[in-house]
Amino acid sequence: MATMTAAGMGQMGMRSRTGSMAERNRGLFDLQRKARRGPTPEVFFAKHIDNSRIVKADDPVRRREMRTFTAVMGILFVLVMVYVWQHFSAIEVGYSVEAQKVQMEQMREENRQLRLTEAQLTDPGRIDRIAKQLGLDVPQPGQVVRSDGGDPNAPVLAQVNTPAMQ
3-state helix, strand, coil in the chain (%, to 5): 65, 0, 35
pLDDT score of 75: 98
* 55 within a domain of the structure (yes/no): no
Q: How far apart are CA 35 and CA 27, in angstroms?
A: 12
pTM over cut 0.75: no
Residue 116's domain comprises: 71-135
Residue 122 domain flag = yes
Total domain count, the chain = 1
CA 66, CA 44: separation in Å to the nearest integer?
Answer: 39
Residue 93 belongs to some domain of the structure: yes
Residue 41: pLDDT band by 50, 70, 90 thresholds?
Answer: low
Instruction: Give the chain's mean pLDDT.
Output: 82
Domain membership flag for residue 120? yes
pLDDT at 164 (0 to 100): 66
Q: Could you tell me if residue 59 is inside a domain?
A: no
